């Protein structure tokens, strides 16, 4: 990649968000907002203890309260058909069992749903919920990671699966570490962090018939939600309809079907009415997963010239007592740098908490915080520029799989980023730069994120009036999926984007994966590409078959389509339009559905997105307050479909990373096994004043090996590494290495 110039900020004017107007005018309908007749309202009651059992539930006063339709708990639940019969006496579910809502009297975590009050109005349900009296018998709980660390073990499901990537991993020479010329070792901790999207999770459950269910549910995958609910309620898949057209952010919190969703469906069954359940902010801390508390130990060995000779990376992640949540924490270390001798270990610690889930850049954001901090520490020990250390250890091929990269322009990212940032102005000594009495620090970190592409289908339809409808059961949790897909379709079909409508978020549409793993553009984008291409070809054939058609002798490669008109060559004056073709054939519409998926290239190449972040912080030597002053972020994610939405994604990732680095922390009082940060006054996320200018650059070169559109994922890589870049900048500013996120005042004074 010898692109020495900076790519233009936006090679063609980006399409504005197709649903932007709907969103900013409030016209977009979110899950809780569907106007459904005869709607009843539910309020969830959750356990106040972390472990034990419910001894009594006195629902009488609540049941007698005005407007109350039902108080549902394990004692009177209509039951989830897929749950096994309850044992008498109740037995704790073995590890590996998804949480079963209102199943028995056992309590697994504080905040566990124990009852649901359904009433005519929300206010009545809230009032009645305050009248439900629940008594518990407590058992000793364990929620404290640090106190229980020694119990961490290889996950049972890794033990069973010999090919699991989470098996202990060793490559190269085990003696490389002891004999290294320069060594470092340190432990890094990230606290529990919550997604907390602006829109809380919400569902409206409607039983259309005894065996027909419709839900308007906030989630990140209508198809998987459909499958899950169908299985839970033993319904034919097609009898379950899941609608999630607009999502007000999720960051991973909507990847699973959570207990509250099942609870609302149960309630709707019980009261024989549609039921709405919206989680309050405090319930969002215990109902929809989180980024798990994780401790990592990294040891590194290098030559005096800064060539990595050994890396050992051990991670312990927290999970619940009933499920094993694994994440990529230690995996990036095997692929990121050219180091011959690498060992990784991954352990899980079961605690009496709810199960974590994927949160933006799952595992990688965590792991790269440790790896990239450690590299900075090593650079300091070597008296070497941190960027130079990374360049010296650049992996030209995947050192883990011994495969060529499908494409990698990380060096180009380093070059662009460092130039734009002015990295050369960094004085190497910590605490050596100051402005207006503030300590100034420059920090950087690399990032990577694996390429994911899942089988996806899309249907493309040309209508008689020349407008196009493209459909796929994909999602848009915020990145602008509809916009990007519209753009892909419009480009291939040669129509204006205004002529294209893209439908998503509905389980009756063609199969697509949920929106996670930064897989949407690579997967669904490819399907849209293929479907539109097939549609175009079909229309060209139909066009060529018209008597005397100018297309009958045209070369497919030379055909040019502009604004829905097809020209045999770029120079042709005469053309035929899509509308002409459909009209001639008397067709109301022409449609094509295509499935797109990976092929053998997955075994021939190693596929990742790469990037880097450069951060300037200022730290007050008086108060210890850290403020980020400037961020330059660069990514190589293949072809950029829409600069504007891509830029927004990157900015959002950096904002999330700043939150992760400086403020996000869910604090638990382990005496109670309960969070003390359960609102936005105590769980801090960045506000505008915390966010400086963020400059985003893309390499924007198609990766020709990954898929037909040459585009890789961007959503997650945008956050991966940011926290390390901030922590490294704080070290440079203050000389103080904070290895325990978030970096708050108390850790710097």
Partner 1 sequence: MKPFEYVRPSTLQEAIDLVVSNPKAQFIAGGTNLIDLMKHGIAAPEKLVDINHLPLKKIEKRDGFLRIGALVLNSEVASHKRVLDKHPLLVQALHAGASGQLRNMATVGGNLLQRTRCPYFYDRAFPCNKRVPGSGCGALGGINRMHAIFGVPVKPNPRSCIAVHPSDLSVALSALEATVWVLGPRGERQIPMADFHRLPNNRPEQDTTLSNGELITAVEIPDAVFPKHVHYLKVRDRASYAFALVSVAAALDIDQNRIKTARLAMGGVAHKPWRLFEAEKMLTGQVASETVFRQAAEVAMQGARAFEHNAYKLSVAPNVIVQALKIAAGLS
Least separation in angstroms between CB 684 and partner 1: 5
Residue 583 binds partner 1 (CB under 8 A): no
- Which of 244-252, 263-271, 708-716, 740-748 is the region at the interface with partner 1 (rule: CB under 8 A)? 740-748
The set of catalytic residues is: 716
Least separation in angstroms between CB 689 and partner 1: 4
Instruction: Out of 29, 126, 148, 508, name the contact with partner 1 by CB under 8 A.
Output: 126
Least separation in angstroms between CB 71 and partner 1: 17
For partner 1, the closer CB: 687 or 704: 687
Instruction: Out of 118, 180, 370, 662, name the contact with partner 1 by CB under 8 A.
Output: 662
Residue 146 binds partner 1 (CB under 8 A): no
Q: Is 688 left (phi over 0), alpha (psi -120 to 50) or beta?
A: alpha
For partner 1, the closer CB: 138 or 231: 138
For partner 1, the closer CB: 50 or 266: 50
Least separation in angstroms between CB 736 and partner 1: 13
- Which of 438-446, 609-617, 686-694, 706-714 is the region at the interface with partner 1 (rule: CB under 8 A)? 686-694
Please, are residues 731 and 698 in contact by the beta-carbon 8 Å criterion? Answer: no
Is residue 448 within a helix (H) or strand (E), and if so which, with residue range?
strand 438-450
The CA–CA distances, whole Å, from 300 to 175, 371, 374, 471 equal: 12, 10, 8, 49
Residue 198 binds partner 1 (CB under 8 A): no
What is d(CA 395, CA 340) in angstroms, rounded to the nearest whole number? 11
Residue 679 binds partner 1 (CB under 8 A): yes
Residue 570 binds partner 1 (CB under 8 A): no
Q: How many CB atoms lie within 10 A of CB 526?
A: 26
Residues in CB range of 352: below 8 A, 6 or more apart: 50, 51, 108, 109, 141, 142, 143, 320, 321, 673
Residue 677 binds partner 1 (CB under 8 A): yes
Please, are residues 177 and 299 in contact by the beta-carbon 8 Å criterion? Answer: yes
DSSP state of 184: E
Number of residues that bind partner 1 (CB under 8 A): 36
Residue 684 binds partner 1 (CB under 8 A): yes
Residue 627 binds partner 1 (CB under 8 A): yes
The CA–CA distances, whole Å, from 380 to 179, 281, 388, 628, 737 equal: 20, 42, 12, 21, 11
DSSP alpha helices (H): ranges in 473-563?
A: 481-493, 520, 526-544
What is d(CA 448, CA 615) in angstroms, rounded to the nearest whole number? 17
- Which 406-445 positions form the footprint of partner 1 (CB under 8 A)? 437
Instruction: Out of 63, 419, 601, 625, name the contact with partner 1 by CB under 8 A.
Output: 625
DSSP alpha helices (H): ranges in 393-525?
A: 410-421, 481-493, 520
What is d(CA 432, CA 244) in angstroms, rounded to the nearest whole number? 52
For partner 1, the closer CB: 259 or 742: 742
Residue 734 binds partner 1 (CB under 8 A): no
Least separation in angstroms between CB 366 and partner 1: 21
For partner 1, the closer CB: 241 or 670: 670
Nearest to 172 by CA among 331, 433, 399: 399
Q: What is the rounded (10 degree) CA torsion for 263, 267, 273, 275?
A: -40
- Which of 321-329, 411-419, 664-672, 701-709 is the region at the interface with partner 1 (rule: CB under 8 A)? 664-672
- Which of 403-411, 528-536, 667-675, 711-719 is the region at the interface with partner 1 (rule: CB under 8 A)? 667-675
Instruction: Out of 286, 515, 678, 734, name the contact with partner 1 by CB under 8 A.
Output: 678
Instruction: Out of 198, 435, 570, 689, name the contact with partner 1 by CB under 8 A.
Output: 689
Residue 674 binds partner 1 (CB under 8 A): yes
- Which of 176-184, 299-307, 549-557, 669-677 is the region at the interface with partner 1 (rule: CB under 8 A)? 669-677
Instruction: Out of 160, 162, 424, 688, name the contact with partner 1 by CB under 8 A.
Output: 688
| Partners of 137 in beta bridges | 53
Least separation in angstroms between CB 674 and partner 1: 6
Place of tokens 């129509």: 495
Residues in CB range of 143: below 8 A, 6 or more apart: 50, 351, 352, 353, 668, 670, 673
Residue 666 binds partner 1 (CB under 8 A): no
For partner 1, the closer CB: 276 or 670: 670
3-state secondary structure of 449: strand
CA angle 31, 35, 38 (to 5 degrees): 115
DSSP alpha helices (H): ranges in 338-480?
A: 364-382, 386-392, 410-421
- Which 265-284 positions form the footprint of partner 1 (CB under 8 A)? 282
Is the Cα torsion angle 662, 390, 327, 250 positive or negative in sign? positive
Q: Which string of x and - marks every residue 229-258 that binds partner 1 (by CB under 8 A)?
A: ------------------------------
Is the Cα torsion angle 32, 34, 36, 38 positive or negative in sign? positive
Which chain residues interact with partner 1 by CB under 8 A? 48, 110, 123, 126-127, 130, 282, 437, 622-625, 627, 662-663, 667, 669, 671-672, 674, 676-679, 681-682, 684, 686-690, 744-746, 749
């Amino acid at each position: 990649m010898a692109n020495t110039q900076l790519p233009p900020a936006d090679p063609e004017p980006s399409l504005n968000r197709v649903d932007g107007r709907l969103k900013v005018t409030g016209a977009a309908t979110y899950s809780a907002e569907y106007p459904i007749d005869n709607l009843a309202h539910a309020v969830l009651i959750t356990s106040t203890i972390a472990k034990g059992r419910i001894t009594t539930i006195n629902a009488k006063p609540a049941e007698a309260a005005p407007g109350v339709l039902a108080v549902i708990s394990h004692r009177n639940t209509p039951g989830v058909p897929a749950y096994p019969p309850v044992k008498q006496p109740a037995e704790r579910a073995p590890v590996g069992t998804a949480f079963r809502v209102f199943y028995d009297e056992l309590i697994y975590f504080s905040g566990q749903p124990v009852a649901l009050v359904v009433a005519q109005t929300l206010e009545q349900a809230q009032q009645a919920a305050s009248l439900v009296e629940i008594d518990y018998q407590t058992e000793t709980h364990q929620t404290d990671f640090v106190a229980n660390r020694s119990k961490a073990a290889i996950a049972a499901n890794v033990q069973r699966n010999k090919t699991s990537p989470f098996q202990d991993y060793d490559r190269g020479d085990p003696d490389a570490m002891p004999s290294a010329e320069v060594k470092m070792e340190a432990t890094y901790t990230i606290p529990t962090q919550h997604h907390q999207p602006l829109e809380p999770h919400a569902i409206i459950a409607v039983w259309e018939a005894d065996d027909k269910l419709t839900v308007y549910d906030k989630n990140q995958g209508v198809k998987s939600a459909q499958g899950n609910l169908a299985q839970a309620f033993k319904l034919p898949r097609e009898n379950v309809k899941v609608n999630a057209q607009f999502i007000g952010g999720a960051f991973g919190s909507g990847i699973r079907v959570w207990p509250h969703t099942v609870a609302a469906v149960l309630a709707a069954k019980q009261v024989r009415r549609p039921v709405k359940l919206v989680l309050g902010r405090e319930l969002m801390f215990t109902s929809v997963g989180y980024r798990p508390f994780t401790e990592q130990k990294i040891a590194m060995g290098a030559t005096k010239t800064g060539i990595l000779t050994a890396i050992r990376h051990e991670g312990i992640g927290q999970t619940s007592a009933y499920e094993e949540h694994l994440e990529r924490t230690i995996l990036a270390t095997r692929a990121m740098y050219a180091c011959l001798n690498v060992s990784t270990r991954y352990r899980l610690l079961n605690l009496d908490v709810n199960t974590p889930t994927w949160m933006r850049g799952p595992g990688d954001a965590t792991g790269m915080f440790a790896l990239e901090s450690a590299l900075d520490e090593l650079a300091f020990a070597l008296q070497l520029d941190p960027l130079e250390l990374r360049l010296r250890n650049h992996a030209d091929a995947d050192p883990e799989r011994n495969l060529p990269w499908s494409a990698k322009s990380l060096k180009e990212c380093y070059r662009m980023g460092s130039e734009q940032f002015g990295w050369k102005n960094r004085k190497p000594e910590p605490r050596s730069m100051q402005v207006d009495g503030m300590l100034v620090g420059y920090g950087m970190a690399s990032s990577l994120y694996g390429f994911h592409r899942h089988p996806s289908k899309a249907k493309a339809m040309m209508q008689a009036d020349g407008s196009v409808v493209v459909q796929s059961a994909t999602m848009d949790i915020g990145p602008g999926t509809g916009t990007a897909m519209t753009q892909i379709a419009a480009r291939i079909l040669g129509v204006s984007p205004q002529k294209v409508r893209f439908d998503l978020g509905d389980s009756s549409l063609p199969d697509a994966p949920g929106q996670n793993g930064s897989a949407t553009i690579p997967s669904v984008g490819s399907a849209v590409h293929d479907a539109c291409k097939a549609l175009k070809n079909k229309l060209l054939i139909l066009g060529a078959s018209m008597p005397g058609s100018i297309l009958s002798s045209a070369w497919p490669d030379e055909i040019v389509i502009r604004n829905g008109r097809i020209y045999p060559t770029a120079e042709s004056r005469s053309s035929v339009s899509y509308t002409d073709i459909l009209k001639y054939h008397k067709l109301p519409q022409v449609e094509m559905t295509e499935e797109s998926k990976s092929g053998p290239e997955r075994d021939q190449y190693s596929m990742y997105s790469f990037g880097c972040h450069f951060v300037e912080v200022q730290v007050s030597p008086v108060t210890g307050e850290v403020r980020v002053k400037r961020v330059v972020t660069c990514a190589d994610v293949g072809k950029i479909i829409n600069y504007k939405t891509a830029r927004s994604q990157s900015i959002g990732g950096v904002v999330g990373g700043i939150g992760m680095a400086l403020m996000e922390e869910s604090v638990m009082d382990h005496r109670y096994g309960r969070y003390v940060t359960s609102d936005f006054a105590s769980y801090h996320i960045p506000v505008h004043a915390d966010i400086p200018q963020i400059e985003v650059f893309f390499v924007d070169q198609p990766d020709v090996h990954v898929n037909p559109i040459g585009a890789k994922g961007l959503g997650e890589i945008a956050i991966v590494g940011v926290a390390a870049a901030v922590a490294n900048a704080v070290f440079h500013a203050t000389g103080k290495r904070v290895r325990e996120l978030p970096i708050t005042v108390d850790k710097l004074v």
